[in-house]
């Protein structure tokens, strides 16, 4: 019963955190961490959670990443990779190098520096998208590039964790063969996902696959539509969990598999005849509630309970956190903006918006911190606190900088600021007139 009591307390914290976030217009993630830390320090929650809460929190981050992938359009994602590769590459290398250098300066420990660098490499996905959605920019071209780059960074970060953690714990030495093996597993996993999304889930009428007994004649639509779609949510959550477990077997975090599971699901799979569109909307609403209101927030509250305040330690790491904040801010904005300008062909207003949007450090950054501090005890308490405070401040800067830059962005570059999908207007002059006429630029 004690675990259920802790869950009830955490859900209470989620409720009050959501109210405060709504008032302050900041992401609720920050307040989930804050309330978790406060309740752990006053003794309401334990700093070491039991197995039930730990597993519940892990399920939460899996559902969060699945919900994010479920909302994204796979075609847009794949198309934007060709433009976003430079933003993802240079926008990850620069903050990694900056964070690594700061950690080596303060702690002079290779293992600590590697994990600090990896934590600052994992760019936020949901945090930035929530901020952009609040400002009416969630469907802009910049939002697509930010989302794609952040996902590529997160996948690369988790792949690097599989290599770096054994090195940081002393269980293995860095060898080219180890890195090549991880890269081979990554290729194998994404090949499997491509096969699953391109051949196994949809019903392929022609080709060799259609001749396979039983499987070749079925499709995910038939499974989702069983019993009039009443078990559609259960079906896709099971798919997310299974692919998450497969990703874990390949050496990745289950969250990566869950995201890819959401990415390969399409809205047309939920076309159940008379109830066209209803199954998709109902399922998406249930998934979003589970990810962002019920199960997912417990992950962040639980992580917040790991912050046990020691006044001496807190005061001692303030210079560390501020130094890391400045280093990552400059490295992230400059590298992402320059990459967006010269590899993605973005305008300078759009490039700077992308730079600000890449500042956030949310879900997977906390996953890396959890691995490095809780599971393997690689990070000392000072380094963990430094990362938590820096992450908190970076996340606060995302809505502030994006809101500050939005008026300049939509004024200087209305073509790219216009929401995607409006094909009625082709000429830049007409599109700008349409935006001005509808008052969109004044939002």
- The domain segmentation of the chain, as residue ranges, is 2-412
Both tokens of 74, joined, read: 């796979």
Task: Write the DSSP symbol of residue 376.
Answer: S
Q: So what's the pLDDT on residue 182? A: 67
- Which residue in 299, 367, 347, 371 sits closest to 124, CA to CA? 367
CB 303 within 8 A of CB 35: no
Q: What is the pTM of this model?
A: 0.68
User: Chain centroid to CA 292: how far?
Assistant: 13
**Please, which residues have CB within 8 angstroms of residue 65's CB and are 6 or more apart in sequence?**
255, 256, 258, 259, 262, 363
Closest listed residue to residue 162, CA positions, set 191, 189, 186: 186
pLDDT of res. 337? 94
Per-residue pLDDT, 335: 94
pLDDT for the residue numbered 131: 66
Contact (Cβ atoms closer than 8 angstroms) between residue 198 and residue 182: no
- The DSSP letter of residue 347 is -
What pLDDT sits at residue 10? 94
pLDDT, block means (10 residues), the chain with 443 residues: 90 91 75 87 86 88 82 68 84 93 92 89 69 70 80 71 68 62 75 75 56 59 71 86 86 77 79 64 86 86 79 85 95 94 89 90 73 81 88 80 84 66 43 43 42
d(CA 155, CA 252): 8
Q: Which CATH number fits domain 2-412: 3.40.640.10, 1.25.40.10, 1.20.1530.20, 3.80.10.10?
A: 1.20.1530.20
Distance CA 376, CA 381 (A): 13
At 436 the pLDDT is 42
How far is it, in rounded angstroms, from Cα 187 to Cα 251?
A: 12
Please tell me the predicted confidence (pLDDT) of residue 433: 38
Q: For residue 15, what pLDDT is reported?
A: 92
CA dihedral 66, 68, 74, 80 (to 10 degrees): -140
pLDDT of residue 437: 40
Residue 275: exposure state from Cβ atoms within 10 A (0-12, 13-18, ≥19): middle
The answer to whether 88 and 148 have CB atoms below 8 angstroms apart is yes
Ranges of beta strands (E only) in 240-358 are: none
Give the per-residue pLDDT at 435: 44
């Amino acid at each position: 019963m004690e675990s259920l009591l802790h869950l009830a307390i955490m859900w209470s914290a989620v409720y009050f955190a959501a109210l405060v976030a709504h008032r302050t217009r900041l992401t609720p993630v920050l307040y989930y961490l804050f309330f978790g830390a406060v309740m752990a320090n006053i003794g309401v929650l334990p700093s070491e959670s039991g197995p039930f809460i730990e597993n519940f929190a892990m399920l939460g981050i899996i559902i969060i990443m699945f919900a994010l992938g479920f909302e994204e359009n796979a075609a847009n994602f794949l198309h934007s990779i060709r433009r976003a590769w430079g933003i993802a590459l240079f926008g990850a290398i620069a903050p990694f190098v900056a964070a690594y250098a700061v950690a080596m300066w303060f702690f002079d420990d290779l293992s600590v520096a590697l994990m600090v660098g990896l934590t600052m490499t994992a760019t936020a996905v949901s945090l930035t998208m929530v901020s952009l959605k609040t400002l009416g920019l969630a469907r802009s071209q910049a939002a697509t590039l930010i989302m794609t780059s952040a996902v590529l960074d997160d996948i690369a970060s988790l792949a690097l964790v599989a290599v770096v953690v054994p090195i940081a714990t002393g269980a293995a030495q860095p060898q080219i063969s180890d890195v090549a093996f991880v890269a081979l597993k990554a290729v194998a996993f994404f090949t499997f996902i491509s096969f699953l999304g391109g051949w196994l889930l949809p019903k392929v009428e022609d080709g060799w696959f259609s001749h396979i007994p039983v499987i070749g004649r079925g499709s995910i639509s038939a499974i989702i539509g069983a019993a009039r779609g009443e078990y559609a949510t259960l079906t896709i959550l099971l798919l997310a969990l299974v692919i998450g477990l497969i990703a874990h077997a390949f050496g990745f975090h289950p969250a990566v598999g869950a995201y890819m599971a959401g990415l390969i699901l399409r809205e047309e799979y939920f076309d159940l005849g008379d109830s066209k569109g209803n199954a998709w909307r109902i399922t998406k609403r249930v998934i979003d509630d589970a990810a962002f209101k019920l199960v997912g927030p417990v992950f962040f509250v639980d992580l917040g309970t790991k912050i046990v305040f020691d006044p001496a330690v807190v005061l001692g790491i303030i210079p560390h956190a501020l130094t890391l904040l400045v280093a990552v801010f400059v490295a992230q904005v400059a590298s992402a903006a320059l990459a967006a300008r010269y590899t993605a062909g973005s305008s300078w207003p759009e490039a700077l918006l992308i730079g600000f949007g890449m500042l956030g450090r949310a879900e997977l950054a906390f996953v890396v911190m959890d691995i490095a501090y809780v599971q393997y005890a690689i990070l000392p308490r000072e380094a963990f606190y430094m990362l938590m405070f820096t992450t908190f401040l970076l996340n606060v800067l995302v809505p502030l900088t994006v809101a500050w830059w939005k008026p300049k962005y939509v004024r200087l570059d209305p073509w790219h600021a216009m929401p995607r999908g409006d094909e009625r207007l082709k000429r830049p002059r007409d599109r700008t007139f349409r935006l001005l006429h509808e008052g969109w630029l004044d939002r």
